């Protein structure tokens, strides 16, 4: 028997899917193992050599193609589903896909897929199963479903932020001259797990000392911390499939006055972006406002990425906070605000918060101090 508490949000998501598909001009949506498949089923499948797909149609029971060894996952599933299983015999794959396609009635229809997730393996099997179907991008439909978080989702994201912040505070005492970026990355991961993060982190933490902090996507190295270095942390935790993503920059002792200056500029840009966010505001405006602070200070060429990105079951999802994005922000949308200034060969500063749009503005889920705080 299904759990009503679990069935209710899934049923609501399936109901909303019908509207999203209609708005996108689609007859169905096909998903393979991904956050979107979990979002619509509550089930977790790994992307492996054995294909798994879910075919979703308005008002119909999803058709799931999966290996026999995964069939037990559907027992007690909180929604109606039609299972089409195959064995270890590769010749059984095609018939399972064909039967699922026939049951879902997708032949000759426009079927949405996630281009960044669906592999050629599944696509070829689907094309053979429904040769007259048109498989097109369903990204807009998926984004419409997942962008607006409900209270249950927000509660998980708030917890992921708390875990990440507590883990950083537990890690900071270990940051001292002579320690390496790799060592601090390991320390931070350990504390996130101790604080309760799921083991599959949203990404491997970025720990960057000194000149390495000028690389926005630095990878921890064996560089040993020195006095006068900037210390940048970009990290996040996972609470039952929902992520946090934060960045803070510290200093080890006194730093070059210009590095202290850019830290204050970035702090002001972060605040300006936050204050600009609210329901009905184009996402691009948040980028424009934050970027203007940095450009007016003379460092525009050193702000080399967008101001933020959506956050939830993926660390990068809609809405993207970049200047050309006209999407209107709406209540429940969650994203990062993370302006930065990066001076090659010297150091960089980024401040990143996780934000949710509310009825009357925006709320920052993260509350760690944003200044260039000293360590040690």
Listed residues 146, 172, 200: the one ending a domain: 146
- The pLDDT score that the predictor gives to residue 75 is 86
Say if residue 15 is in the same domain as residue 164.
no
| Last residue of one domain, picked from the residues 122, 146, 170 | 146
Residue 251 CA to residue 50 CA, distance in Å, equals: 48
CATH (domain of 85): 3.40.350.10
160 and 309, same structural domain? Answer: yes
Rounded (10°) angle between helices 151-171 and 181-195: 130
CA 277 to chain centre: 19
What was the pLDDT predicted at 8? 65
The four Cα atoms 33, 35, 41, 45 give a dihedral, to 10 degrees, of 30
The burial of 132, by beta-carbon neighbours within 10 Å (0-12 exposed, 13-18 middle, 19 or more buried), is given as: exposed
Closest CA to 195 of 247, 236, 234, 231: 236
In this prediction, residue 76 carries a pLDDT of 77
Distance (Å, whole) CA 52 – CA 64: 7
CB-CB contact of 374 with 251 (8 Å) = yes
For residues 92 and 179, state if they share a domain: no
Geometric angle at alpha carbon 172, from 307 and 262, rounded to 5°: 35
Q: Residue 212's pLDDT is what? A: 98
At 326, list the tokens: 């006209």
CB 353 within 8 A of CB 246: yes
Do residues 359 and 225 both lie within one domain?
Answer: yes
One domain, residues 179 and 319: yes
Q: Is 60 exposed, middle or buried (CB count within 10 Å of its CB: 0-12, 13-18, 19+)?
A: middle
**Which residue, of 123, 146, 169, is where some domain finishes?**
146
For 186, residues 6+ apart whose C-beta sits below 8 A from its C-beta are none
Residues 349, 249 contacting (CB under 8 angstroms): yes
What is the domain count for the chain? 2
* One domain, residues 165 and 117: no
User: 191 and 335 in one domain?
Assistant: yes
For the chain of 376 residues, list the mean pLDDT of each consecutive stretch of 10: 52 91 96 96 93 95 95 85 96 98 98 96 98 97 95 97 98 98 98 97 98 97 98 98 98 97 98 98 98 98 98 97 98 98 98 98 97 93
Same domain membership, residue 331 and residue 237: yes
In this structure, are 119 and 219 located in the same domain? Answer: no
Are residues 124 and 270 located together in one domain of the fold? no
CATH value at residue 240: 3.90.230.10
pLDDT score for 2 = 40
Per DSSP, helices labelled H in the chain are 4-23, 35-41, 93-104, 120-129, 139-146, 151-171, 181-195, 257-276, 283-296
Domain that holds residue 172: 151-374
pTM: 0.93
Relative to beta strand 110-113, strand 28-31 is parallel
Closest by CA position to 221, among listed 263, 187, 179, 191: 179
Q: Is there a single domain that holds both residue 349 and residue 365?
A: yes
Give pLDDT, residue 101.
98
Q: Is the domain of 138 the same as that of 202?
A: no
Please, what's the largest Cα pairwise distance for the chain? 68
């Amino acid at each position: 028997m299904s759990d009503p508490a679990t069935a209710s949000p899934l049923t609501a998501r399936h109901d909303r899917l019908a509207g999203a598909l209609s708005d996108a001009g689609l007859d169905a949506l096909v998903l393979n193992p991904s956050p979107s498949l979990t979002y619509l089923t509550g089930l977790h499948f790994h992307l492996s050599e054995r294909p798994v797909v879910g075919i979703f149609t308005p008002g119909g029971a999803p058709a799931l193609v999966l290996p026999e060894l995964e069939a037990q996952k559907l027992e007690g599933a909180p929604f109606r589903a039609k299972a089409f299983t195959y064995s270890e015999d590769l010749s059984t794959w095609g018939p399972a896909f064909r039967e699922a396609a026939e049951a879902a009635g997708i032949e000759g229809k426009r079927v949405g897929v996630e281009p960044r997730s669906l592999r050629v393996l599944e696509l070829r099997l689907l094309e053979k199963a429904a040769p007259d179907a048109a498989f097109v991008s369903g990204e807009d439909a998926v984004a419409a479903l997942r962008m607006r978080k409900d209270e249950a989702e927000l509660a998980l994201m708030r917890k992921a932020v708390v875990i990440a912040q507590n883990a950083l505070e537990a890690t900071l005492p270990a940051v001292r001259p002579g320690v390496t970026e790799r060592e601090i990355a390991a320390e931070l991961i350990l504390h996130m797990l101790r604080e309760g993060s799921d083991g599959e982190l949203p990404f491997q933490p970025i720990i960057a000392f000194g000149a390495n902090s000028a690389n926005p996507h630095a990878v921890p190295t064996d560089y040993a911390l020195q006095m006068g270095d900037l210390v940048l942390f970009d990290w996040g935790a996972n609470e039952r499939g929902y992520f946090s993503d934060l960045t803070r920059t510290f200093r080890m002792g006194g730093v070059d006055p210009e590095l202290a200056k850019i830290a204050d500029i970035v702090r002001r840009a972060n605040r300006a972006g936050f204050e600009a966010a609210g329901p009905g505001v184009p996402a691009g405006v948040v980028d424009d406002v934050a970027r203007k602070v940095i450009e007016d200070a003379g460092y525009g060429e050193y702000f080399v990425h967008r101001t933020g990105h959506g956050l939830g079951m993926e660390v990068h999802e809609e809405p993207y906070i970049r200047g050309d994005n006209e999407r209107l922000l709406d209540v429940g949308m969650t994203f990062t605000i993370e302006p930065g200034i990066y001076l090659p060969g010297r150091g960089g500063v980024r401040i990143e918060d996780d934000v949710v749009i509310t009825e009357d503005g925006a709320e920052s889920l993260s509350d760690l101090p944003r200044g260039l705080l000293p360590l040690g």
